[in-house]
Amino acid sequence: MNIWKRVVIFCLAIVIAGLSAYPAEALERTLSEDEVKFTFFHLTDGESLLITTGRDKRILINTGSKDSEEDLVGQLEELEVRQIDYLVLTNKNETACGNADVIIDKYHVKKIASSNYQPCVNIQTEDISTVKWEHGETYEPSTGLRFKVLKVNPNSQNMSLYITFGKNSMVFMSEANQAIEDILKDLPIQTEIIKIPDYAEKNFPTGELLDQLDPHIAIIYDLKDKKLHAGLVERLTELWIDVYHLKRVGTVQIIFTPSDYEFVR
């Protein structure tokens, strides 16, 4: 074997050994009070986003389908989550709230926000507060972390969210149609991250909306037995947007600071 190949292999072995010597917990740094971490869970089927603040608040947006219960609970346990302060349900689809009952029970959820007064689960205890988030209103579940609610109409079962922290923002799109795009176009906003709606099956967002929002990152969750819309993927690539299809890259974590953002893994 060539001497240089031996050197390369030896160096790689050292790097791999060094990485394996540190448990995953050692790579998990503590958030300061002015930081917020977004964990986009890779699930077998459906979508779920955990937002953890440096002020020790945890907000879970959606819970994936029932087929993803083991995926979701396992990852929450890896992150050592013991309690979820807010559960936000953006629609009643099974792929969004299939594990809501499990999450409520296991993680002692006290507050549920949804697109209407009847969330996708039957609340049996007075210890849980449920609230309907209204279109156009802004809510602040943790200091500095704001959610602006966007709906096609007041009675819509879907709500998209414009989430801001410091100078950073994210658009969490919950439906793919022209009506929600028109609402977004009327807002004078740009964003760092966009969550692609409907698992990228449809040809939305349009190029016009993407040009306006100018996102750096697109997140695509996985839906079983479904294919990505080729035209949408091509459009995202042509616009130089970094696409993170969680089926391919796994769970992604991004930290927002007041002025910037960074990948954790």
Q: Is the dihedral of CA 182, 171, 215, 233 positive or negative?
A: negative
Q: Which pLDDT score is estimated for 8?
A: 36
What is the identity of the amino acid at 149?
Answer: V
Q: Is the pLDDT of residue 255 over 50?
A: yes
Domain ranges of the chain: 32-263
Six-digit token pair at 262? 């960074």
Tens digits of residue pLDDT in 66-117:
999 999 999 999 999 999 999 999 998 999 999 999 999 999 998 999 987 6
pLDDT at 130: 87
Per-residue pLDDT, 21: 32
Task: Check if CATH label 3.10.560.10 holds for domain 32-263.
Answer: no
| Rounded Cα gap, residues 195 and 148, in angstroms | 15
Tokens of 156: 């819509």
Secondary-structure percent of the chain, ordered helix, strand, coil, rounded to 5 = 30, 25, 45
pLDDT by residue (tens digit) across 36-63?
A: 999 999 999 999 999 999 999 999 999 9
H-run or E-run covering 244: strand 242-245
The contacts of residue 213 (CB under 8 Å, 6+ apart) are 171, 184, 189, 190, 191, 194, 205
d(CA 95, CA 89): 11
Confidence of residue 26 (pLDDT cuts 50, 70, 90): very low
The pTM (predicted TM-score) of the whole model is 0.88
Q: Please give the pLDDT value at position 124.
A: 59
> Which residues make Cβ contacts (< 8 Å) with residue 248, sequence separation at least 6?
none
Instruction: Please give the residue that has the higher pLDDT: either 117 or 26.
Output: 117
Is the model more confident about 160 or about 3?
160
pLDDT band at 154 (very low <50, low <70, confident <90, very high): confident
